[in-house]
């Protein structure tokens, strides 16, 4: 494939190239990305994308999604859903997310490893997937969605939560999740907004338990650990316990930022779930009230994290907020102080680094996978150009065209 005439934003943070070409090879890799004037000859018969007035970027990475959840209102009703229908609904959410420009995603609770395999084998279309399988937390905490006063044994944590209450129990829980194919361990260091029994300021797993999770994950292939952490104390516990990333981080203070900067901990602020998921008619009252109460605190603390140079990777919490609107997260990052270029890097290169995939994706450089998107306009002057799926004209994943406005013509060698 040859993309010509486009503006190139390659994900490295380098200045854009106004008149660029991107070439992809037979193995689905990038073979050239740079100025059109310096491009090598176009291969005979290459499919041609004329993209004048458009921008080509790396495929985006969403580090925090929940594909198996349609909306926050559905979480407590999962036990009653038809599992076959839910599988198909999940696959459709994945397809729409891919078409919105997200070529890689990390599911942090709810998606079995089989969805990762289905994408890899071409059985369904969706982002290249890493999954945590379920969320590890304690009884009554953010991962506990048990139905109060329900029939004996009825527990909606099944399929979403993994409950453990001691150091030894969390070690066994990690082993169980790894046995089921988890790429990453997701734990709860605090309470949350969508859980019925706790508050974001409540502490979840103790620092000792978090450290045990990190140690156990390290013993089995060095899997990363993502910490749901919203309140200040739990954020500090998570970072001191050695997690790879703090998810949400709404209550992070200067002490927490000092720790994160010192240890290289990633912050995934999931602003979309705070600012795009507010619908009183579709939310439990406790959930809506918490979101409203925490929104201003989030703006102040995440703005400060951006100002201080925190290692921020894009994540949305889609499922709690709408699916296939993932790149609205870029608008929120820019609103809180990021430059459009830095926001794009957060969703490409930095997010790939968090997933341990920086040698494969995240930037448009020769030898890396041809994961790319072409959008209308210039997102460096209008970041909203990426937020509307209708303005994402092309999506390419490992050299395979997943979305295009029409057939791509072949072109004779130049």
Entry pTM? 0.95
Bridge partners of 185, per DSSP, are: 225
273 in the same domain as 320: yes
185 in the same domain as 85: yes
**pLDDT tops 70 at residue 239:** yes
156 in the same domain as 121: yes
CA–CA distance, 225 with 177 (Å, rounded to integer): 12
203 in the same domain as 76: yes
Q: Measuring CA to CA, how many Å separate 173 from each of 136, 180, 181, 185?
A: 8, 11, 13, 10
- Average pLDDT taken over every residue of the chain: 92
**pLDDT tops 70 at residue 75:** no
CA–CA distance, 176 with 54 (Å, rounded to integer): 47
**pLDDT tops 60 at residue 149:** no
91-130 pLDDT, tens digit each: 999 999 999 999 999 999 999 999 999 999 999 999 999 9
Tally of structural domains, the chain: 2
304 in the same domain as 325: yes
- The predicted model gives 324-332 an average pLDDT of 98
Which of 308, 333, 354 is a domain's end point?
Answer: 354
378 in the same domain as 276: no
110 in the same domain as 253: yes
**pLDDT at position 148:** 63
| Tokens (6 digits) for 395 | 């999506």
CA–CA distance, 147 with 75 (Å, rounded to integer): 11
**CATH label of the domain that carries residue 160:** 3.20.20.140
Which of 306, 332, 354 is a domain's end point?
Answer: 354
- The predicted model gives 146-173 an average pLDDT of 75
Which segments of 32-188 does DSSP mark as H helices, in order?
83-99, 113-120, 167-179
15-69 pLDDT, tens digit each: 999 999 999 999 999 999 999 999 999 988 899 999 999 999 999 999 999 999 9
Name the residue range of residue 174's domain. Answer: 60-354
**CATH label of the domain that carries residue 370:** 2.30.40.10
304 in the same domain as 216: yes
64 in the same domain as 48: no
**pLDDT tops 60 at residue 273:** yes
38-50 pLDDT, tens digit each: 999 998 889 999 9
Q: Which residue has the tokens 């830095």?
A: 342
160 in the same domain as 41: no
CA–CA distance, 247 with 242 (Å, rounded to integer): 14
- The predicted model gives 262-288 an average pLDDT of 86
221 in the same domain as 249: yes
112 in the same domain as 14: no
Which of 311, 334, 354 is a domain's end point?
Answer: 354
**pLDDT tops 70 at residue 155:** no
Quote the percentage of the chain above a pLDDT of 90.
81
């Amino acid at each position: 494939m040859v993309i010509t005439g486009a503006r190139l934003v390659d994900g490295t943070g380098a200045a854009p190239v106004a008149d660029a070409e991107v070439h992809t090879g037979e193995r689905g890799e990038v073979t050239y990305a740079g100025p059109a004037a310096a491009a090598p000859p176009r291969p005979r018969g290459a499919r041609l994308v004329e993209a004048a007035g458009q921008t080509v970027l790396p495929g985006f990475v969403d580090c925090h999604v929940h594909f198996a959840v349609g909306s926050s209102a559905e979480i407590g009703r999962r036990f009653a859903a038809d599992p076959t229908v839910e599988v198909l609904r999940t696959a459709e959410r994945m397809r729409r997310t891919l078409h919105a420009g997200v070529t890689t995603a990390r599911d942090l609770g709810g998606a079995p490893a089989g969805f990762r395999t289905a994408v890899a084998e071409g059985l369904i279309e969706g982002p290249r997937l890493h999954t945590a399988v379920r969320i590890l937390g304690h009884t009554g905490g953010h991962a506990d969605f048990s139905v109060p006063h329900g029939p004996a044994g009825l527990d909606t944590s099944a399929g979403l939560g993994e409950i453990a209450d001691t150091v030894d129990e969390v070690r066994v829980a990690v082993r169980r999740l790894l046995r089921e194919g988890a790429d990453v361990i997701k734990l709860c260091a605090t309470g949350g907004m969508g859980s019925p029994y706790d508050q974001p300021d409540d502490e979840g797993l103790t620092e000792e338990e978090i450290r045990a999770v990190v140690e156990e994950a390290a013993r089995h292939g060095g899997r990363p650990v993502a910490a749901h952490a919203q309140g200040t104390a739990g954020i500090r516990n998570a970072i001191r316990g050695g997690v790879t990333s703090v998810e949400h981080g709404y209550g992070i203070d200067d002490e927490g930022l000092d720790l994160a900067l010192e240890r290289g901990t990633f912050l995934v602020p999931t602003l979309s779930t705070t600012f795009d998921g507010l619908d009183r008619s579709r939310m439990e009252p406790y959930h809506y009230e918490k979101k409203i109460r925490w929104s201003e605190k989030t703006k102040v603390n995440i703005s400060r994290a951006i100002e201080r140079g925190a290692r921020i990777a894009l994540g949305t919490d889609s499922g709690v907020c709408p699916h296939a609107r993932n790149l609205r997260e870029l608008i929120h990052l820019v609103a809180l102080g990021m430059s459009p270029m830095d926001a794009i890097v957060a969703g490409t290169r930095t997010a790939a680094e968090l997933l341990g995939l920086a040698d494969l994706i995240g930037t448009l450089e020769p030898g890396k996978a041809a994961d790319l998107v072409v959008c209308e306009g210039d997102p460096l002057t209008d970041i909203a150009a990426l937020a509307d799926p209708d303005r994402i004209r092309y999506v390419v994943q490992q050299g395979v065209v997943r979305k295009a406005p029409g057939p791509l013509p072949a072109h004779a060698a130049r």
